Chains A and B, each alone.
Chain A
Amino acid sequence: MLTRAERQRGYAGGGLVFAGIVVFIALAVFALLSFNSGESDRPFFDAYVWRILRFTLLQAGLSTLLSVALALPVALALARQPNFPGRIWIIRLMAVPMGLPVLIGALGLIGIWGRTGVLNSALATIGLSEPVSIYGLSGILIAHVFFNLPLACRLLLAGLERLPPDYWRLSASLGLPARSIFRFVEWPAVKPLLAGITGLVFMLCATSFTLVLVLGGGPAATTLEVAIYQSLRFDFDPGRAISLALLQIAVTATILALMALLPTPKNDSAATGRAARRFDGSDLGMRVWDGTIVILAVAFLCLPLISIALAGIRADLVRLLTSAIFWKAAWTSLWIAFLAGVISLTAATAIINARAAIADARGPGITARGFSTLLASLSSLVLLVPPVVIGTGWFLLLRPYGDVASFAPLLVVMINAMTALPFVMRVMAPAFATHRQRTARQAANLGIFGFARLRLIDLPVLISPIATALSFAMALSLGDLGAVALFGSEELVTLPWLVYSRLGSYRTADADGLAFILAILCLALTVAGTAGHRVGKDGQQ
């Protein structure tokens, strides 16, 4: 139920964002390919590439399966127990792993699961001398679940919380058993989200690099991302790097497309129509079950974070917090994160509106529907484009026009915005869709359009997903080293860069301290993000 003008604006915005992303990536690739780096005599698809491709898919597949399968019961339990002690803080803590530099997260995990970690030390005291070794596939899986379970859980929980409160009231009055609630209420709410979440987690695990090497136990554990990094950084063979990146994108896109073919109900059936009902989870057995699940998840998530915090507190925090370089880095990190977040949200809104406009059109043609699908896939697949490729490509493009150092901040913002897009989409798209279904007709009937509609109808409800999405995007950008490392500009010192520079010159304690501060910063962002969330929920009720 959009006006003609709204539809046209939707198409235009979507087209603009689409063209922007495509041009941004294509120019970088083009610049790299046209750069003459000397002969490359290495055959492309050799046994080595084949082997790492298989390993990439294996570890990513298993990691995704575990992360999402384990996230589901946690999300259900948290949704069922709205009065669980410390619930809001559990949800907030789930944002922290995302904002941590990967190496710090890995060291935190090693502090718990490692040879000399808490677990093995505990086992040793009860007489088990042979330590449990996490190095190998098991370590990679643990690490990927640590980083991705919270992400999947938050997205699933958001889906469950979007269900109208009437559902739960009704289900309570009907006295439905838990299994029926799952079948008729929870599963239909969660199911349409699964494909998107699974795809996102799969891409994150497929492109994992540091975790796979550090915890993999040897070069048998190598992902395509390692080979891309190697060919661009160490061998400087741009052609090979791009071929590998294309292989990575093609294979992952095929897998995501196959997943999309699996039968999933249409978005619209998820939230409206069917009357559903909920038991309140106050029954003792259910409370014990939910409590156990949540406590296990919290322990798994928090122990490494505690180990990071303990290491961080031991650092000379006063000295770190009073150093000029820290404030400079914190300021740079924050404004980069904020700008990247805002750009990402804007692009996501444009994509969502364009897709809505196409869906709303009476009998959209094959081109329109194709474009809608293309927009959706593009907004996911950007995650697979290695930042090192974009960064190096743009370095080459911009160099003739002046000092690259002065362009670097803008470039980092753009790359971070692009990387955050798939996350932002996962948070905003379902919320926007639900909201549109609930309000589109009434708004059209009442003749409320444009700014008035935005202020009276959209913002009060959508402010919550928008705030969550912004905090997601910012946390992601805060912890990211990727793009910054390429340019080596003195004006572009970020917090993760400081952490790595301390680690690179024996100053592990300083790095621990800075990482701890970074984690606190992420937590603060999420507190801001979830504060909006509460307001939003009240607004809905």
Chain B
Amino acid sequence: MRMTNTLLAAAMAAVFSVVLPAHAQEKKTLTVYTYESFVAEWGPGPKVKAAFEATCDCKVNFVAVADGVALLTRLKLEGAGAKADVALGLDTNLVKEAIDTGLFEKSGVDTAKLTVPGGYRDDIFVPYDYGHFAVVYDTQTVKNPPKSLKELVEGDPSQKIVIEDPRTSTPGLGLLLWVKSVYGDKAPEAWSQLKKRVLTVTPGWSEAYGMFTKGEVPMVLSYTTSPAYHMVEEKTDRYQAASFEEGHYIQIEVAGLLKNAPNRELAQQFLSFMVTPAFQDEIATTNWMMPAAPTEKPLPEAFDKLAKPAKTFLMDPARVAKNRRAWIDEWLAAMSVN
């Protein structure tokens, strides 16, 4: 299929180069650094690329690395020499470090109309979607899901949960901050109690979620939006997210303009495009996150059934950056005691 597409594209290019020779050569290329699942065939990438290219008279070129963390590492490695115009896919926990690299500058995008809970505001990064961390459970085995973080911590130790490691994954770090937000100084005690319910701690989300869907463990740390995937794509409401009374910690995904962007104007145009319905309409069912700005198409019905956090936790990124190591050490100590 790719082959025919290439042939078709080549044929069209040949035709157009005859009709519009000058024009075709002047087309600018916007380079967007992002993460792999964004550009996957089922991800938002292909659709937003087409939508933006229809308006910009340009070509969008995605360069995809494994995840948001790898994206930041890539930018650090390349420094000022990076060919990227836009970096798309950092999250709120990486924002402080990203700003500290000095590689980003103000986006110039009006973010007043955004609908992100928790009041996140930033004139450098543009939020484009968000999700609340949540405990997703299997309704076939968990009849009384925990209604609060407290119930999760103090619940039946024989009913297990699998969580991610804060040393190697963003959801793991999210849970760490969530517990910290709720328990404060008492977090170590909460962890040593929760430890009894933790079946294992995986290096990333994929391992944890794989164990969960294979039925090995009835609860997993994931997102409030995870059940939407199963409802929309697999037509099953077997997996649900538990709504916690204290509130949920949020993960906001953002994009930013690079200071040395070769195509500055195009980059700004793309960032503004990201908060329009043309982009936002695709997010819910391709990235399985909540859109950060108003959409034109209503979200699928499944999204109405998702847990709606009454309260949103979000720590100041600077505070997270400053305390992350100490909190991870605290977590290690609490979780390593037998």
Do A and B pair up? The answer is yes
Q: Which residues of A contact B (CB under 8 A)?
A: 35, 37, 42, 48, 51, 103, 106-107, 110-111, 114-117, 135, 209-210, 213-220, 226, 229-230, 232-234, 236, 311, 323-325, 328, 392, 395-396, 399-400, 405, 485-490, 500-501, 503-508, 511
Interface string of B61-74 (1 = CB under 8 A from A): 01111110110111
Decide if A214 touches B207 in the complex (CB within 8 Å). yes
B307 contacts partner chain A, Cβ-Cβ < 8 Å: no
Q: A37 and B76: CB pair below 8 A?
A: yes
Are A218 and B207 neighbours in the complex by a CB distance under 8 Å? no
> Are A485 and B216 in touch, CB under 8 angstroms?
no
Which listed residue, A116, A396, A508, touches B210 by the CB 8 Å rule?
A508
The answer, among A111, A114, A234, A399, for a CB contact under 8 Å with B77, is A399
Q: Which residues of B contact A236 (CB under 8 A)?
A: 72-73, 76
The yes or no answer to B255 lying at the interface (CB within 8 A) is no
Return chain B residues, CB-CB under 8 Å to A218: 195, 198, 200-201, 335-336
Are A114 and B216 also in contact (CB < 8 A) when A219-B165, A504-B37, A504-B206 are? yes
Give complex CA distance A503, B230 in Å: 14
- Shortest CB-to-CB span from A88 to chain B, Å, is 32
**Binary flags per residue of B81-96, CB closer than 8 Å to A gives 1, else 0:** 1000000000000000
Give A46's nearest chain B residue, CB to CB: B329
A-B contact pairs, 5 of them (CB 8 A): A219-B167, A220-B338, A234-B167, A328-B2, A488-B66
User: Which A-chain residue is minimally distant from B332 (CB atoms)?
Assistant: A219
Chain A positions within 8 Å of B209 at CB level: 503, 506, 508
Say yes or no: B198 contacts A110, CB within 8 Å.
Answer: no
In the bound complex, do residue B76 and residue A217 qualify as a contact, i.e. CB atoms below 8 Å apart? no
Complex: A107 Cα to B214 Cα, angstroms: 8
B216 and A324 within 8 A (CB):
no
Chain B residues whose CB sits within 8 angstroms of the CB of A486 once the complex forms: 65, 70
In the assembled complex, how far is the CB of residue B226 from the closest CB belonging to chain A, in whole angstroms?
8
Nearest-CB residue, chain A, relative to B72: A236
* Nearest CB of B to A193, in Å: 34
User: How many angstroms between the C-alpha atoms of A395 and B77 in the bound complex?
Assistant: 8
Q: Which residues of the other chain, B, contact A35 by a CB distance below 8 angstroms?
A: 77
Asked if A107 and B210 sit within 8 Å, CB to CB, the answer is yes
Minimum C-beta distance from B314 to chain A (A): 20
8 shortest interchain CB distances as A-B pairs: A488-B65, A503-B206, A220-B336, A324-B2, A324-B1, A505-B37, A213-B203, A504-B206
Interface residues of B in 1-60 (CB under 8 A from A): 1-3, 36-37, 39-43
- Report chain B residues within 8 Å CB of A117: 216
Interface flags, B204-217, vs A, CB<8A=1, else 0: 11110111011111
Given contacts A110-B214, A214-B202, A488-B65, contact A115 B76 (CB under 8 A): no
Complex: chain A residue closest to B4, CB-CB:
A324
A501 to B65 CA separation, bound complex (whole angstroms): 11
Contact A504 B36 (CB under 8 A): yes
B78 within 8 A of partner (CB): yes
| Contact B63 A488, beta carbon cutoff 8 Å | yes
Given contacts A218-B335, A490-B64, contact A116 B215 (CB under 8 A): yes
How distant is the Cα of A37 from the Cα of B73 in the complex, in angstroms?
10
Residues of B within 8 A of A500 (CB): 206
CB proximity of B241 to chain A, nearest CB, Å: 14
| A-side contacts of B78, CB under 8 Å | 399
Q: How far is the CA of A400 from the CA of B217 in the complex (A)?
A: 48
Q: Is the CB of A501 within 8 A of B37?
A: yes
In the complex, the answer to whether A488 meets B70 with C-beta atoms within 8 Å is yes
For B39, list chain A residues within 8 Å (CB).
Answer: 490
Please give the distance in Å from B139's CB to the nearest CB on chain A: 16
Count B-side interface residues using an 8 Å CB cutoff.
60
Check B210 against A219 for contact (C-beta < 8 Å). no
Q: How far is the CA of A220 from the CA of B165 in the complex (A)?
A: 12
Contacts of B335 in A (CB 8 A): 218-220
When distances are taken between beta carbons in the complex, the residues of chain B under 8 Å from A215 are: 200
Residue from B3, B168, B198, B230 in contact with A324 in the complex, judged by beta carbons closer than 8 Å: B3
B109 near A: Cβ within 8 Å?
no
Tally of A-B residue pairs with Cβ under 8 A? 148
Chain B residue nearest in CB terms to A210: B203
Report the separation of the CA atoms of residues A279 and B334 in the bound assembly, to the nearest whole angstrom: 58
Residue in A111, A117, A234 whose Cβ sees the most chain B Cβ within 10 Å? A234
Q: With A485-B66, A503-B206, A508-B210 given, name 5 new contacts (CB 8 A).
A: A210-B203, A233-B168, A236-B76, A488-B36, A511-B210
Query: Which residues of chain A are within 8 angstroms of B207 by Cβ–Cβ distance?
Result: 103, 106, 210, 213-214, 503
Interchain CA distance A116-B195 in the complex, whole Å: 20
Chain B residues with CB under 8 Å of A485's CB are 65-66, 70
Contacts of B37 in A (CB 8 A): 501, 504-505
Alpha-carbon separation in the docked complex, A405 to B84 (Å): 14
Assess A214 versus B203: contact at CB under 8 Å? Given A110-B211, A219-B165, A399-B81: yes
| Residues in B whose Cβ lies below 8 Å from that of A107 | 210-211, 214
CA distance A458 to B78 in the complex (A): 49
- Which residue of the partner chain, among A217, A233, A328, A505, contacts B70 with CB atoms under 8 Å? A233
A103 touches B3 (CB 8 A): no
Known: A48-B329, A395-B77. A230 touches B168 (CB 8 A): yes
B296 within 8 Å of A (CB atoms): no
Question: For residue B202, which residues in chain A have a CB less than 8 angstroms away from its CB?
Answer: 213-214
Task: Give the docked Cα–Cα distance between A489 and B64 (Å).
Answer: 7
B288 interfacial contact with A, CB 8 Å = yes
B103 at the interface (CB under 8 A from A): no
For the complex formed, measure the closest distance between the CB of B271 and the CB atoms of chain A, giving whole angstroms: 21
Residue of B2, B63, B288, B331 touching A405 (CB-CB under 8 A): B63
Complex CA–CA separation, A111 to B217 (angstroms): 12
Known: A114-B216, A115-B217, A500-B206. A505 touches B332 (CB 8 A): no
CB distance from B149 to the nearest CB of A (A): 19
* A119: min CB distance to chain B, Å: 13
Complex Cα distance A525/B311, Å? Answer: 55
Q: Is B199 an interface residue (CB 8 A)?
A: yes
Expressed in whole angstroms, the Cα–Cα distance for A359 and B133 within the complex equals 63
Q: Are B205 and A504 in contact (CB under 8 A)?
A: yes
A396, B77: Cβ atoms closer than 8 Å? yes
A214 partner, pick from B63, B200, B205, beta carbons under 8 A = B200
Q: How far is the CB of B157 from chain A (nearest CB, A)?
A: 12
A114 to B212, CA, bound (A): 12
**Contact A217-B200, Cβ < 8 Å, known A229-B168, A324-B2, A505-B43:** yes
B137 to chain A, nearest CB (A): 15
Q: Are B73 and A213 in contact (CB under 8 A)?
A: no
Q: How far is the CA of A501 from the CA of B36 in the complex (A)?
A: 7
Give the complex CA separation of A26 and B332 in angstroms.
33
Q: How far is the CA of A527 from the CA of B73 in the complex (A)?
A: 41
Closest to B73 in A: A236
Asked if B69 and A234 make an inter-chain contact with CB atoms under 8 angstroms apart, the answer reads yes
For the complex formed, measure the closest distance between the CB of A35 and the CB atoms of chain B, giving whole angstroms: 7
A324: chain B residues within 8 A (beta carbon): 1-3
Q: Does B229 contact A (CB under 8 A)?
A: yes
Decide if B160 is an interface residue (CB 8 Å cutoff): yes
Which of chain A's residues have a CB closer than 8 A to the CB of B77?
A: 35, 392, 395-396, 399
B270-320 interface with A by 8 A CB criterion: 288
Which chain B residues lie closer than 8 Å to A103 at the CB level? Answer: 206-207, 210
- Bound-state Cα–Cα, A219 to B204, Å: 13
Q: Is the CB of B73 within 8 A of A233?
A: yes
Inter-chain contact B214/A111, CB cutoff 8 Å: yes
Bound CA span A311–B215, Å? 13
Answer yes or no: B233 CB below 8 A from chain A CBs.
Answer: yes
Interface centre among B41, B198, B202 (most CB of A within 10 A): B202
Cα–Cα, bound, A476→B19 (Å): 51
What is the CB-to-nearest-CB distance from B30 to chain A, in angstroms, rounded to a whole number?
Answer: 15
Q: A137 to chain B: closest CB distance in Å?
A: 12
A525→B305 CA distance, assembly (Å) = 49
Please report the C-alpha to C-alpha distance between residue A106 and residue B41 in the assembled complex, in whole angstroms.
27
Instruction: Check A48 against B233 for contact (C-beta < 8 Å).
Output: no
Instruction: State the CA gap A214–B204 with chains docked (Å).
Output: 9
B167 close to A230 (CB less than 8 A): yes
